[in-house]
Amino acid sequence: MKDELGDITEIQLKCDFALQTLLTELNVLIKEYEFKNKVNPVEHIKSRIKTRDSIVKKLIRKGYPVDKENLINHIHDMVGVRIVCSFLSDVYDIVKIIKNSNLYQIKKEDDFIKNPKESGYSSYHLNVLVPIHLNGRVEMVEAEIQIRTMAMDFWASLDHKIKYKFEGEMPEEVKQEIYNCSYEVKQLDAKMYRLNEIMNKYK
């Protein structure tokens, strides 16, 4: 497919504004949570703005012509933030405080923890609309927030690397092993959750 994206400098600028606004709000929310609960549930936060190459590859993979209209209509994770937590309960605490913020609008949410993808992928996704100020007006820019445990993040990272080792369809044997690992990750998270509950009794 021919790359007809053209100049996307303005789109990238808007995404940068949205990312900085979102990160500031998330840091405030997490610090407020830590102040109230005397514990920080977040291990680390990663963020990125999708590169031009990634945009092109995703549009091609989805079967859309590579142009600006399809970028706007079909790429919903130009701005991406990943929040990695220690325990499963922390994930839902973070989801709750994000949903209670008045800064942005929740456009879509997917609980892939309770309803994992066919591959075994688990995470909680929130797509939010972030207000930015540009050229004297307010615009809403979409961003995707992924919230997951360290175990889920480890699995997702390996899954991503393994997929790129194969061109086209992944062998069934590999798919099955990846899925088996996702089941073991879920068991580990459950054990760590129980450990956290026991620890809380001694506080």
Summarised one tens digit per residue, pLDDT across range 181-190 is 998 999 999 9
Summarised one tens digit per residue, pLDDT across range 155-164 is 999 888 887 6
Number of structural domains in the chain: 1
Q: Helical H runs in 38-149?
A: 52-62, 68-74, 88-99
**pLDDT score at 167:** 64
User: For the chain, where are the E strands, in sequence order?
Assistant: 3-4, 42-49, 66-67, 79-85, 105-111, 124-134, 137-149
Residue 122 has pLDDT above 90, yes or no: yes
**pLDDT score at 178:** 87
Q: What is the mean pLDDT of residues 145-173?
A: 86
**Strands 3-4, 66-67: pairing kind:** parallel
The DSSP bridge partners found for residue 131 are 140
CA dihedral 33, 36, 42, 47 (to 10 degrees): 30
How far apart CA 153 and CA 11 sit, in angstroms, is: 29
**pLDDT score at 168:** 63
**pLDDT score at 203:** 67
* Prediction pTM value: 0.91
Q: What is the mean pLDDT of residues 109-114?
A: 97
Summarised one tens digit per residue, pLDDT across range 27-58 is 999 999 999 999 899 999 999 999 999 999 89
**pLDDT score at 48:** 97
Residue 145 has pLDDT above 70, yes or no: yes
Q: Average per-residue pLDDT in the chain?
A: 91
DSSP reduced 3-state for 179: helix
| Residue percentage of the chain with pLDDT more than 70 | 97
Residue 20 has pLDDT above 90, yes or no: yes
Give the residue, 142 or 172, on which the prediction is more confident. 142
CATH of the domain at 49: 3.30.460.10
The whole domain housing 27 covers: 3-201
DSSP track, 79-110: EEEEEEESSHHHHHHHHHHHHT-SSSEEEEEE
